[in-house]
């Protein structure tokens, strides 16, 4: 069986105020053309269809159009909701749309009800696990306490139980939107947890033949059966080195995986430049960046006047300007956001406590209170988001 795995479309998103609607349309044209040319048996979209819970009309129209084109092509397509999507909105009319071969899996209560496909070698059960916010789904999944690992493990237990009741030889595919341990993040993914509990071990997905993952924006392979497709477009300058792609996955009769990357169209490549302004404006080594979207980090000891205007005279597509003066004061001049980048909420708070209370580490009770407080804040925010989505 041949599957086309993609995720993290983020329809409606811009790039440093540059409208990406046309680029997203080009990608969706490419997706439909690939599905037809490669004669795929199904398309898998592992979450974050939209960039926000209340997408704009332009993004909704683009999604509606690609649904129609895939249905007209006769290619079954399975979507799950991601942490950027409103599961309730994305899942609207899902039972009706099912009849067109477009399967929107947004309800945690239905995650063990697979889309059933078949080829010459027998049945393939495709399970869609929407993004599972622990505070909202623990009770529904029978989990008393815990974070992403616990709720995703409970969800996969339900999947394995359903699979065990199906005919011998049934191959299993899972779509999931999660941060799996070992994956490499970028700056454009929204944090999905507090307290350092966002990641889940790869072993959670044991027992299935392929796990089509979404959330991380870089294409990556954690195991032959465990892959992120990544986003089809770059959404931050941290993705300048990414080659955006989809996975074309072939499952043989025993469920063994062969996969190859299908590269996505690139609207404009990215460049990250660093140095003194005069060097950036004159050095021939930077000529490659003239037609790229540019992020420039200036290292001049004193902030140059009219830096953005001068940069755009050579690099007309400069979008982001940073200032980090060279020398011993550079680290001290870095912004607070840059200094805490990559840290979990728990690490940030613990760092603050260590700063105001030097020489005394948090004891066990204090760590428990801290985690409880962070989880309470997360639960309240998730509840408000769910209420706003209704």
**Contact of 374 with 345, CB cutoff 8 Å:** yes
**Contact of 370 with 377, CB cutoff 8 Å:** no
Low-confidence winner among 80-89, 106-115, 338-347 (lowest mean pLDDT) = 338-347
Read out DSSP for 301-323? SSPPTTHHHHHHHH-TTEEEEEE
* Nearest-10 crossing angle of helices 134-141, 364-389: 90
Compare 368 and 285 and report the one with higher pLDDT.
285
pLDDT beyond 70 at 196: no
Q: Which of 70, 15, 7 is nearest to 244 (CA)?
A: 7
Examine the domain organization and report whether 245 and 327 are in the same domain.
no
- For 94-133, write each residue's pLDDT tens digit: 999 999 999 999 999 999 999 999 999 999 999 999 999 9
Average pLDDT of the residues in 327-339 = 54
Q: Which pLDDT does position 98 carry in this prediction?
A: 92
Examine the domain organization and report whether 135 and 173 are in the same domain.
yes
Structural domain ending residue among the three candidates 204, 235, 263: 263
Q: Which of 219, 217, 214, 228 is nearest to 188 (CA)?
A: 217
In whole angstroms, what is the distance from residue 343 CA to residue 195 CA?
A: 10
Place 88 in a pLDDT band, splitting at 50, 70 and 90. very high
Structural domain ending residue among the three candidates 263, 285, 313: 263
Examine the domain organization and report whether 121 and 224 are in the same domain.
yes
Structural domain ending residue among the three candidates 221, 240, 263: 263
In which domain, by residue range, is 17 found?
2-263
CA torsion 52-55-60-63 (nearest 10°) is 0
How many structural domains comprise the chain?
Answer: 3
Q: Which of 376, 379, 2, 28 is nearest to 233 (CA)?
A: 28
CB atoms within 10 A of CB 137: 20
pLDDT beyond 80 at 381: no
Examine the domain organization and report whether 159 and 124 are in the same domain.
yes
- For 346-365, write each residue's pLDDT tens digit: 767 777 776 666 556 677 66
Q: Which pLDDT does position 117 carry in this prediction?
A: 96
Average pLDDT of the residues in 77-94 = 94
Counting DSSP H helices and E strands in the chain, the numbers are 12, 19
**Contact of 261 with 245, CB cutoff 8 Å:** yes
- For 12-52, write each residue's pLDDT tens digit: 999 999 999 999 999 999 999 999 999 999 999 999 999 99
- Report the CATH number at residue 71: 3.60.21.10
What proportion of the chain, given as a percentage, has pLDDT over 90? Answer: 74
Examine the domain organization and report whether 309 and 235 are in the same domain.
no
Is 111 strand, coil or helix?
coil
Compare 135 and 34 and report the one with higher pLDDT.
34
Examine the domain organization and report whether 48 and 181 are in the same domain.
yes
Examine the domain organization and report whether 66 and 130 are in the same domain.
yes
Q: Which pLDDT does position 263 carry in this prediction?
A: 97
Note the Cα 195 to chain centre separation in Å. Answer: 20
pLDDT beyond 70 at 379: no
Examine the domain organization and report whether 254 and 285 are in the same domain.
no
- For 154-171, write each residue's pLDDT tens digit: 999 999 999 999 999 999
pLDDT beyond 60 at 194: no
- For 198-235, write each residue's pLDDT tens digit: 789 999 999 999 999 999 999 999 999 999 999 999 99
Residue with tokens 């770059």: 234
In whole angstroms, what is the distance from residue 109 CA to residue 78 CA?
A: 16
Q: Which pLDDT does position 336 carry in this prediction?
A: 59
Examine the domain organization and report whether 250 and 283 are in the same domain.
no
Low-confidence winner among 131-140, 192-201, 360-369 (lowest mean pLDDT) = 192-201
Residue with tokens 């020398």: 327
**Contact of 46 with 38, CB cutoff 8 Å:** no
CB atoms within 10 A of CB 4: 23
Examine the domain organization and report whether 235 and 95 are in the same domain.
yes
Kind of pairing, strands 199-200 and 179-180? parallel
pLDDT beyond 80 at 335: no
Residue with tokens 């359903």: 162
Average pLDDT of the residues in 358-385 = 67
Q: Which pLDDT does position 374 carry in this prediction?
A: 73
Q: Which pLDDT does position 195 carry in this prediction?
A: 36
pLDDT beyond 60 at 83: yes
Examine the domain organization and report whether 306 and 223 are in the same domain.
no
Instruction: State the DSSP H helix or E strand holding residue 226, giving kind and residue range, or none if neither.
Output: strand 226-228
Examine the domain organization and report whether 10 and 127 are in the same domain.
yes
**Contact of 234 with 26, CB cutoff 8 Å:** no
């Amino acid at each position: 069986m041949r599957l086309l795995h993609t995720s993290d479309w983020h329809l409606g998103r811009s790039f440093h105020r540059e409208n990406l609607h046309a680029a997203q349309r080009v990608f969706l044209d490419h997706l439909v053309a690939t599905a037809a040319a490669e004669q795929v048996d199904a398309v898998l979209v592992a979450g974050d269809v939209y960039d926000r819970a209340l997408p704009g009309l332009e993004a909704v129209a683009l999604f509606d159009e690609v649904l129609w084109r895939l249905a007209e092509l006769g290619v079954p397509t399975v979507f799950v909701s991601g942490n950027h999507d409103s599961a309730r909105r994305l899942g609207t009319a899902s039972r009706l749309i099912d009849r067109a071969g477009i399967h929107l899996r947004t309800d945690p209560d239905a995650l063990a009800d697979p889309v059933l496909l078949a080829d010459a070698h027998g049945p393939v059960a495709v399970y869609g696990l929407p993004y599972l916010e622990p505070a909202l789904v623990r009770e529904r999944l029978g989990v008393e306490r815990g974070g992403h690992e616990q709720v995703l493990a409970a969800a996969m237990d339900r999947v394995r139980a359903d699979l065990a009741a199906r005919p011998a030889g049934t191959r299993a595919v899972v779509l999931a939107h999660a941060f799996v341990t070992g994956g490499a993040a970028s700056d454009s993914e929204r944090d999905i947890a507090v307290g350092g509990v966002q990641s889940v071990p790869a072993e959670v997905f044991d027992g299935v033949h392929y796990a089509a993952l979404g959330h991380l924006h870089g294409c990556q392979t954690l195991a032959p059966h465990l892959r992120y497709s990544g986003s089809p477009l770059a959404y931050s300058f941290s993705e300048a080195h990414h080659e955006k792609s989809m996975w074309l996955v072939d499952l043989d009769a025993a469920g063994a995986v062969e996969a190859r990357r299908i590269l996505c169209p690139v609207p404009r490549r990215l460049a990250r430049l660093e140095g003194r302004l005069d060097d950036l404006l004159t050095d021939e080594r930077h000529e490659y960046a003239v037609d790229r979207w540019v992020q420039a980090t200036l290292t001049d000891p004193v902030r140059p006047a009219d830096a953005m205007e001068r940069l755009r005279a050579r690099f007309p597509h400069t979008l982001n300007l940073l200032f980090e003066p060279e020398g011993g004061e550079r680290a001290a001049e870095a912004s607070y956001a840059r200094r805490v980048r990559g840290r979990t909420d728990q690490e940030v708070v613990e760092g603050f406590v260590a700063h105001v209370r030097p020489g005394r580490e948090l004891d066990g009770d204090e760590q428990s209170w801290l985690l409880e407080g962070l989880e309470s804040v997360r639960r309240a925010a998730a509840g408000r988001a769910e209420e706003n989505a209704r």
